[in-house]
A and B are shown apart, each in its own frame.
Chain A
Amino acid sequence: MNNSKKKIAGLLLYVLFILVPIYWLLNMSFKHRDEVLSGLSLWPKNFTFDNYITIFTDPSWYMGYVNSLIYVFMNMAITLTVALPAAYAFSRYKFVGDKHLFFWLLTNRMAPPAVFLLPFFQLYSSVGLFDTHLAVALSHCLFSVPLAVWILEGFMSGVPREIDETAYIDGYSFHRFFIRIFLPMIRSGIGVTAFFSFLFSWVELLLARTLTSVDAKPIAAVMTRTISAEGVDWGLLAAAGVVTILPGLLVIWLVRNHVAKGFALGRV
């Protein structure tokens, strides 16, 4: 009994460590600029939504979110489209160079994004993709596709191959089998993969910032650029931070049951 109390106390301490900085961000986001600078208070004295209203009415702010969401979903769509058949191939067949290819894919996960900065910049500029959502989505594929193949392969290997064979005997073509039978069977795997490719693309700043200038500028870049402008409006910055956290929270809520499963397979 004493022992489990100690555990709970330790966990509470850790949860506090996680939540207090976030609480402080929330607290700041509901304060006016003057109140932020006038002194510390644990709760906003003049509670205001002004910072949030600014973000949702000023295009230079909300377009940042729109841009980020566009390339994140593009990246998710591309990643899943190419990774699903590839993961199936890796989980079901032996073919020339399969192990090397798999390993090579994974080494891309180890590449520092900064290494690819310069060539990406020039590659996408030369094909006219600079400052488009597609450029960012494609560049993020470099990291999300290997991860997706890896996660999906784990889920697919969990499906017995007798199911494939039975379906073929029953006269299913590969396409119909794959879409009608196989995909529904690994939907939690698809959920986890979508979650991780969303997550990766949403939090990546370096490539997204370098490959865009005006039309596809992500929210992360909007936030870092406002820091240098005419002093810092901490309240506004905090509100922007809070809004940036929200999609992540929503996504983890949607896939909360699947994620535990994904972690359980040891594939992150």
Chain B
Amino acid sequence: MNKVENNKAWFLVLPVFILVAFSAVIPLMTVVNYSVQDIFDQNNAYFVGVEWYREVLLDHRLQESLMRQFIYSFTVLAIEIPLGIAIALMMPTRGWMASLSLIVVAIPLLIPGNVVGTIWQIFGRADIGLFGWGLNSMGIDYNYAGNPVDAWITVVLMDVWHWTPLVALLCYSGLRAIPDAFYQAAAIDRASKWAVFRFIQLPRLKSVLVIGTLLRFMDSFMIYSEPFVLTGGGPGNSTTFLSQTLTKMAIGQFDLGPAAAFSLIYFLIVLLVSWLFFTTISEMDKDK
């Protein structure tokens, strides 16, 4: 669509600009400000340069939590994306079954993270939970509160439960947008199921998959409430992810400088990975 050049449009954007400036730019500047100063009280602040950044980058606790965060994000992506595509392919296309399955699949998305944590707590505990009790009665020793491996499995399973529907719904709408003529042409060519998927459905799903992967990466990288409620970050620190480490630092210990430096590094990592991902995808587009 041809757009008209008109700088008065700024007046329409102004409210958003002011609001976001108030709630994003000022806070971000505050963070930058803290990250380069050592603050004792309101009148005693010293410029320390990159001191806090160095301290944060060398901190083992943070390095470990960053590693955990990457492993976690890539694990959930590796499970949720293929599973989401598979579910979208299985969902009925028309009739009451279609709307019913849409609503059922959307349910987990509507549940607040802390309630998801509570649900899996109640479901997973060995004494009162169907899941935990079931596993234990089958002779599998399972205790998410005591065993780091079990805690990890539960946290990942919880995320799969919570967020696969997003990928599935995105793919479902992507599949619906493929014209019937494509399938008819494939039928004439006697294309196999796999060929239809590989050469018709998958390429058409690309844009929704890009959005889905980006959203899932960003959100899983910022995860807080679910593991916080389920395991509290434990046992030990085995399920403490970045947001929780940062929250502990900023609000718990009130280490302004390091917390601020860490915040900026955190934000930059998310931006960087998203940008890398995005440019890789667009480069791949150009090559074709």
Contacts and interface: CB of A to CB of B under 8 A. Distances in A.
Interface of A: 3, 7-8, 10-11, 14-15, 17-22, 24-25, 28, 36-37, 40, 78, 81-83, 85-86, 88-90, 92-96, 98, 101, 105, 107-123, 138-139, 141-142, 145-146, 149, 157, 161, 199, 202-206, 210, 220, 223-224, 227, 234, 237-238, 241, 244-245, 248-249, 251-253, 256, 259-260, 263-264, 266, 268
A205 B113 contact: yes
Contacts of B10: 89, 95-96
Interface string B215-255: 10010011011001100000000000011001100110000
B266 A112 contact: yes
B148 interface: no
Interface of B: 1, 3-10, 12-13, 15-17, 19-20, 22-24, 26-28, 30-31, 34, 86-87, 89-92, 99, 101-115, 118-120, 122-123, 127-131, 133, 161, 165-166, 169-170, 172-174, 176-177, 193, 207-208, 211, 215, 218, 221-222, 224-225, 228-229, 242-243, 246-247, 250-251, 256, 259-260, 263-264, 266-267, 270-271, 274
Given A8-B92, A199-B110, 6 more contacts: A24-B131, A93-B5, A94-B6, A112-B246, A138-B22, A223-B115
Q: Looking at B118, B170, B176, B270, which has the most chain A CB atoms within 10 Å of its CB?
A: B118
Nearest to B225: A205
Contact of A248 (B34, B111, B211, B274): B111
A264 B176 contact: yes
Nearest to A38: B128
Given A92-B9, A96-B7, A112-B266, A237 B118 contact: yes
B99 A82 contact: no
A55 B184 CA distance: 56
A95 B102 CA distance: 40
Q: Which 9 A-B pairs have the closest CB atoms?
A: A248-B110, A119-B27, A93-B9, A89-B12, A263-B173, A89-B9, A203-B112, A85-B12, A112-B222
B26 A95 contact: no
A182 to B, nearest CB: 12
A113 B256 CA distance: 16
A118 B256 contact: yes
Tell me whether chain B's interface is mostly helix, strand or loop, or mixed.
Answer: helix
A96 B176 CA distance: 37
B4 A92 contact: yes
9 contacts: A14-B90, A24-B123, A93-B8, A108-B24, A114-B222, A114-B242, A123-B27, A123-B30, A206-B225
